[in-house]
Amino acid sequence: MNLSHSRSRTVSRSLFSRRHLSFALVLAALATACADEDASDASRGASPTEPAPAEGGACNALVQPAEAVPVVAEPSEAPPATGGALANGTYVLRASTLYTRAGGAAGPTGAEGRMVIAVNGSVIDTVRDGERRRGTFTIDGNTLEIKTTCPAGGSDETEYSATPNEIRVYVRRSNGTLVQTFANR
């Protein structure tokens, strides 16, 4: 086994995961992005500045969806990010499209994910493949800046589009732009 290749892949995954989680936080603020019940802090009466209840894990109590959403490659440019107001609510990942530009790969990529985002004021909670995060966000045009508060530290920016019923998060990658679509349940 080539250790250099393995380390490179691990570093790439960790960078992608960190950006993806921040993006998820942004989506949570937008809508950011899988359960049958609304488990947001707001629905339980918790203040957005209070820690999440212990039963939900260290950062929040969102319920992880059972169904994984596959990533599908589309050989075209990603639609433009338009920004928009993030409506309070719980958003579930419904689609993941990797726009690979003209002539790029097409079809299922073999990757998949599960994610839920909850937005309450300027607080965003996420659970992605079992990892829970909480943060606060600000908006500048079509860019979300998320500051992670649980676990402590870190910030990230991502482009997004939002309507009252949907949030789309844009993750720029070397092989294209991943657009994750979250539906408000």
Task: Kindly list the domain boundaries of the chain, sorted by start residue.
Answer: 3-184
pTM score over 0.75: no
> pLDDT tens-digit profile of 130-179?
899 999 999 999 999 999 999 988 999 999 999 999 999 999 999 999 99
Residue 83 DSSP code? B
23 or 152: which leads in pLDDT: 152
pLDDT band at 129 (very low <50, low <70, confident <90, very high): confident
Whether the pLDDT of residue 19 is over 90: the answer is no
Terminal alpha carbon distance of the chain? 45
- In this predicted structure, what is the pLDDT of residue 57? 60
Q: Which CATH architecture has domain 3-184?
A: Beta Barrel (2.40)
Structure tokens at 132: 């829970």
Neighbouring residues of 7: CB distance < 8 A, sequence distance ≥ 6: none
**DSSP secondary structure string for all residues of 35-52:** -SS---TGGGT--TTSPP
Rounded Cα distance between 170 and 158, Å, is 6
pLDDT band at 118 (very low <50, low <70, confident <90, very high): very high
Instruction: Identify the CA nearest to 125 among candidates 14, 18, 34, 48.
Output: 48
Most confident of 8-12, 42-46, 58-62, 121-125: 121-125
Instruction: Tell me how crowded residue 108 is: count the other CB atoms within 10 A of its CB.
Output: 11
Beta bridge partners of 156: 146
> pLDDT tens-digit profile of 45-98?
333 333 333 344 689 999 988 899 999 999 999 999 999 999 999 999 999 999
28 or 139: which leads in pLDDT: 139
